[in-house]
Structure formats: structure tokens, C-alpha cells
Copies of this chain bind each other. A is one copy, B any other.
């Protein structure tokens, strides 16, 4: 058997291509592809993701890797005409991670590898630039010390030891920037760096270049499992077993003087999607300087002035990349002594706004087809078109205190927090936090997640803050340079304005503006158009929304229903194109006005007769509700669920309300208390609720059925079409369902008889218990439709109460016990299998049974796709999730080979 190939080369000889991202990671695959299409890529090689998995398990690299790596290295030496570790003109390498999906800033990188006390002199001689050589060596030791030898700040409050030394040197030399230190001063810094390493680790910084390379490769593989990488994977549902590749690439230098530069660019604006060349660069700098946000880089347009030839070449590259990859690209380049090198390209992360715009415009431009456009927009993105925006009037009145770069569109207000911890703290108290930092770093991720918006005083649109905000869909303004943040006193100065931690600010991430105080918001443009307060032709955002939704409606197979408990909610969902109601929780209606009193009277009744009397008072109110809903739906299906929650939720628990209730109903307080006490349950989720209530108190089911059918009669008599579907909750045994269905049929017959009006209706059930899924075949003999109650089904299948899991969820997340949060995305392996069994069994009994889902998963894109794969008829979700669900449904249909 041939030896497995673990190392893939790129350069003159290129083994890989863009399709091999599973094996080579995104970066490695695209380096290979760029080399293939003739872009100037410094040669190197990629160690595959398969090695990462082996390394994680055994802690060692397979032997074959060593041999293949050696061969590849020799090829690179031949191409560049220099040797690794050569004392005269050494070949240097960068070592970078590269996972299948980009995980920016999550894993470690080492540059300038191959320098040591000997080769640094060779580099100095060969480049005739000792300052450059020693600066490169200094950077290398710093990165290697941090990443491989794990020399870090003692704690969160201490400074990084290397930065400390560098700052001291700058102070001593009385200069502001690193590149102002001369060779001797840098040598001094290097000496201190080595000492710090020796002190912290008890070992010397390694002089053997092969040892350096091995160490760096190992460290990159190890960084796949560092805490922030794990957290990132959780958020983006990236499986831990994908692993990362390692890219070893010959170094080129953007920091060899004024004729050198480094930059990051996007083929279009990743924040708003506009078709402009977008990016930034720094003259005489290495790549990390741009992303780290230490020096604020120049906008890419300025490069035309600084390096006109290179700019022209780059404009050409921009076009070539988009035409070749047919997607917006985010690429890194370095200019070494006026020669352009491409270091990376990938599909650019973009905001939801940008995702929609780019996809639609590329389709118009003929770069992609409609299907590709739909598939390319993350379903979640569409919600960014629907979130409230700042009120123009409010903005005019508010004090504009600073401007920065718009890096994440939207409107956010919150209390200023100068640390990620503080933001998390506020968030956990239910307050809105606005994270304000000079710059952000991967350590701030949790705090960024917890914030409404992110504001930085330094860094450009490709800084860490901008990058992460883009991906998280956070409102973000970066590089608001007039802000002077003082972490020590936890205050911020803007001109002569002093802002304390906790003060309120607002940021407009679309315009790049910062306001004092909380600025009022208005509905999104889309919602304004839907509400008729804005003319459709005045909003390009609405136009994008409408176009995309139109496309989705053409190709999706799943119907999208709404969970709505009132005519108002129903209308909100219908606006977005909801095709019916998948869930009306009748109990929500019981909390309005004085209805709760009748409900309580019903619960307190100790005879069926008294209960009937109380229930009778609820009848006209419920009927009115249903009329409202039927009117709003005008013939679209209306799925109404019978009373579901335990009665305990309806009774008062404080003595004052109990006393007033006792007076109202005319029974002793003690009796009220006793009844409230009797209703307490150990595990109410598993208690007397759902159809169990309707079975214990059939008069309640009778009342609800009557209210529904009388509403139907009213609507039909007024010429409004109605399509009612009655849904029995929490069925586990077919006899439960039969009992309730009999009541429904009996009341329907009575109402038809009384009114002389004939009408159609359906009766079905929820599948929300494991037993119901197992017995779906039998249940489908009676049920005309079934809807998965995926919230309860998840709780029972996992034996895990969503309300109680907070106490261990953090721990579970950090241990990666869940592949994804099972209450956000359907747990396919567990709950999903039960759903699949239920679908098969129900369909076996009743071939064309209507099957849907009405848990919160109905609005989650991954779950919607799973529902499509199960062949459900519809998903039902909150009104504002309808567009997301439609987009996900369309994508599922397009990805499904059966439908093509």
C-alpha cells in the first residue's frame, strides 16, 4: 500500500487545489489554487488536517510526515534559491494554521521562522539591512516565545512580558513606533527576550532551525484545542474532529523599508456589500500589524498614490480573484521591495447586509446564478435587514461625539464597558453593554458576544474587532481615533467630554457614528415598507429583501407558518409571507384583562357544575379571539392548540392576590391557598398538563372546541373563509388523543346542528414526547396532522429541563459535550432520530398526513434544513423568523438532490 500523503506542496510544483479544503484547510487549498492560476504565491507546503487528528490522539507527528516534509522543504529551497538555516542567506518560513472553515485569529501563527543568532547575521548581510534583520528576529522570538514556549503575561491584569521589554526600549530610545528602533537597540531587546524565556521556562530559545520548525508545527496543531478555538467552534457549529492543517510558507517581507508593504483587502465592501475595492495596508510592516490594529492602516485607495504599479497589479488581482472564485474574496498581500506577493485568499466574511447585497448583485452581474445566490446567503443574515435602525430625528437631536469606520451595520445603544468581563457582567444582569476598547483581541470574544455593539479607537476595517463583529453580526464602529480610552481610571475622553464606564452611548454601525446617550430607534426599512410608512421604491434594502424572498418562494418545498397567539402577531407573520398559523397557544389568551379571574374561578371550582359555570364565562372571550385570528388569516390554515400548561401557572402565589381572588369567587382564603398548594408539582413539565388537563376537565376542551367552531360559523356567515385545525397537546397514548378528538367531533356536530352552518376542520396532535414519536403510526390513525413540539421533545428525550440547565450549561459548553446547543438546533442524533421514526411511521399509516414543527427550532436554519430532509410539510416559527425560515427552506430544497 502506498504511504499516505500528508504533505502537499504549492509554488512551481503544486499538488493541491481549491476543492481540497477538507484535507488542506481553506488557506492551504486556496494557496494552491492561486499558484495554479498564476498569482504570485511564495512557495511552501501544507501538512494536512488528517495529521492534526493523529497529533491530537497520539501527541506526536506520524513518521511519514517527517520524510514528506523534508522533501517539500528541499523543493522550496530549490525554488527560492536559499537554504533553511543557511548562515549566509537563510530561507525563512511562516507557519500558520488553516482549518476547513476560516477561524480568524483563533489559532496561532509564527513568522520569520529559521532565524537564530547565526542566520540573523546572514540575513542582515544579505539584505544589507541589519535593522530589518534584528527586527525580524525580535518578532520571531516574541511569537515563538508566546506560542510555542508559552511565555505569557502572569494574569489578565499584567502586561505581556515581551511588550513590556519593547515598550521600555522605545521609552529608552525616546521613539513612538517599533520601526523607529535601530539594530543595536533591537539586539538589546533580543537579549532581554531570550532572558525572559530562559527565566520563565528554564530552557533556552532554540537555535536549531529544524527544532524551531517542529515546535511551531506542534504548537499550531495544539492551538486547535485552545479555549478560544473551542468557543468559536461552538458558536459556529464546527465539529472538533475537522482539525486544522499547517501551512509552512517561505517568508516575504513587507517590512524591508519604504518600498515594502503589507495589506488586507476585500474585493467588495464586507460591511455593506458595495462593489468597491476595499481594504487597507501599512508601509514597511508585517501582516500581523494590520490585523492587530496597533497602527491604524491606510485605506487601500491610498496605495495608488504610494505604489502605483503595485496598485494596478492589485486591481488586476482583485478582478481575477472574483472571476475565478465567483465570490467576494478577502486576501492578504505583501509587497517586498516593490514586488507583490499573495499570501492568502478566502471567501470574505461579510455582514448579513453585505451577504444579501453581494449575492444579489453578483447574480445581476452574471457571476453566479440565482440558486447559488440563494445558497450563499447565510439564512440568519436576512434578519439583519429587519432589525430596528436609529430614528433620523433622534440622531439629529443626539450629540454626535465621534466618527469611525462602519464595520458592522445596525444600531446599538448600551452602557460603556472598558473590558470584556464587564460586558459579560452587565449582560448576565440583563443590561445592554457596549464594549469600548482601543483594540480587541481573541481574549475578548466572550465579552463581544455579550455586547450590543463594539466600538474601538484604533484599527481598521480588517482589525480583529471589525472581523469578529462582521461574523457575529454585531453592530461595530472601529478606529474612532478621537476617543482616548484610559483603562486604569476606566474613563474615556473625547475632546473635553469625559465618559465613565456605565455611561450610555449609541453607535450607528452603518454610518460609523458615535452618539452620547441612547438614541431612539424605528423599525427597519423593510418593516416600514411592509407597514406602509415608507414607499417601496425608496428603499434598496426592501428591494433586496423582496427579490430574495421571491426567489425563495419559487424553490422551497417547506411551507412556513407562524406561531401566533393574537391577531396582531398573526398579522406580523403574514406581512413576512407566513402561510398560516402553526401554533396558537390558547392559554396566552387567558392572561388578558379579567379573563384570568374566570380561569382561576374554573381552577378553584370543586364540582363539575361550578367548573362549567366558570368555563362558560371564558367561552365568548375565546370565541372573540378566534374570530380575530380567523379574520386575519382569511382562509389560511389556523392551528389552534388546546390548553397546555399546568394550572399552577394560572393561580396567584402571593397572599394579597389570593385574598382578593377568594373574595371575588366567594370562597374562604384557606381554600384558595389549599388549592394553590395542591396544584404544586415536583416536575410540572411532566405533570398534569397538555391533554391530561382536557381529559381531567373535559368541560374545558368542550368550551375550547365550541369557541373555535362558533368563531368558524361567525366567519363563514360573514363570508370569511376559515381553515381551522385543532391540535391536542402532549399526547403519549393514542387513547388520550381519541378521548379529546371525540369531544371535538361531538361539539362540531352540535355547533353545526345549532347554527345550520356546515364547515370543515381538522384534528391533529403534537408529537412532543418520545412515546408519541414511537407510536406515531397508531396516532396517525386518528390524527389528520401532527406537529413536532421540539422544545418538549428535546427536554424529554435528553431528560434535560431548559429552565434548569443554566447551572451546568457553561461547563458543558467548555467540555464541548453538545455538538450544538440542542435547544437552538435540533439534536439530530437523538431527537432527530425519534422525529424520523415518527415521520416514517405516521406516513405508513396515513400516506399524505400533514407533518410540521412548531417548537422554537422552526426558526433555526439548521433545523429547518433538517425538517426539509425529513420531508415535513411545514415549519412554524415566530413572526420575525419567517424570512430566515423561508431562506433556509429554499436552501434546503436547493441542496437536496431529490428536488433537483
Contacts and interface: CB of A to CB of B under 8 A. Distances in A.
B827 A771 contact: yes
16 contacts: A681-B801, A683-B803, A685-B686, A685-B801, A686-B800, A686-B804, A687-B801, A733-B818, A735-B815, A736-B817, A739-B817, A769-B797, A769-B799, A770-B798, A771-B831, A796-B799
Contact of A774 (B682, B684, B815, B830): B830
Nearest to A818: B733
Contacts of A805: 687-688
Interface in A741-772: 768-771
Contacts of A453: none
A770 B797 contact: yes
A797 B775 CA distance: 11
Interface stretch (A40-48, A484-492, A806-814): A806-814
Given A798-B732, A799-B792, A799-B796, A804 B683 contact: yes
A695 interface: yes
Contacts of A817: 695, 733, 735-736, 739
Given A730-B799, A796-B797, 6 more contacts: A683-B803, A685-B799, A686-B800, A692-B808, A733-B818, A735-B817
Nearest to A810: B696
Contact of A830 (B771, B792, B827, B830): B771
A795 interface: yes
Interface in A656-688: 681-688
Given A774-B834, A775-B829, A830-B770, A801 B695 contact: no
Nearest to A687: B804
Secondary structure class of chain A's binding surface, majority of residues:
helix
A730 to B, nearest CB: 6
A816 interface: yes
A150 interface: no
Interface string A766-801: 001111001100000000000000001001111111
A4 to B, nearest CB: 25
Contact of A695 (B695, B696, B739, B815): B815
A117 interface: no
A833 interface: yes
A839 to B, nearest CB: 15
Given A682-B684, A799-B730, A829-B775, A735 B816 contact: yes
Contacts of A686: 683, 685-686, 795-796, 799-801, 804
A804 B801 CA distance: 16
A797 B771 contact: yes
Contact of A683 (B685, B739, B770): B685
A768 B808 CA distance: 19
Contacts of A682: 684-685, 801, 803-804
Most buried by B among A695, A730, A808, A815: A808
A735 B682 CA distance: 29
A812 B684 CA distance: 18
Contacts of A797: 769-771, 774, 796
Contacts of A812: 695
Interface in A317-359: none
Contacts of A769: 797-799
A196 to B, nearest CB: 30
Contacts of A695: 808, 811-812, 815, 817
A131 to B, nearest CB: 50
Contacts of A831: 771
B808 A696 contact: yes
Nearest to A690: B799
Contacts of A834: 770, 774
A801 B683 contact: yes
Nearest to A731: B799
Contacts of A735: 815-817
Given A683-B804, A692-B808, A696-B811, A798 B818 contact: no
Interface string A686-701: 1110001001100000
A774 B799 CA distance: 13
A685 B805 CA distance: 11
A817 B738 CA distance: 10
Contacts of A829: 774-775
A564 to B, nearest CB: 25
B681 A804 contact: yes
B732 A684 contact: no
A818 B695 CA distance: 13
Interface string A815-829: 111100000000101
A794 to B, nearest CB: 9
Given A792-B799, A801-B681, A815-B735, A688 B808 contact: yes
Nearest to A797: B770
Nearest to A769: B799
A768 B799 contact: yes
Contacts of A684: 682-683, 804
A815 B734 CA distance: 12
A830 B774 CA distance: 6
A692 B799 CA distance: 11
A466 to B, nearest CB: 35
A681 B804 CA distance: 6
Contacts of A803: 681-683
A831 to B, nearest CB: 8
A792 B686 CA distance: 12
A682 B795 CA distance: 13
A433 to B, nearest CB: 24
A795 B799 CA distance: 9
A687 B807 CA distance: 9
A458 B768 CA distance: 54
**4 A-B pairs closest in CB distance:** A686-B801, A687-B804, A771-B830, A683-B801
A149 to B, nearest CB: 28
Contacts of A827: 771
A11 to B, nearest CB: 41
A686 B681 CA distance: 14
A355 to B, nearest CB: 33
Given A682-B801, A686-B795, A815 B739 contact: yes
Nearest to A833: B774
A794 B684 CA distance: 16
Contacts of A774: 797, 829-830, 833-834
B696 A807 contact: yes
Most buried by B among A797, A799, A801, A833: A799
A682 B829 CA distance: 26
A429 to B, nearest CB: 16
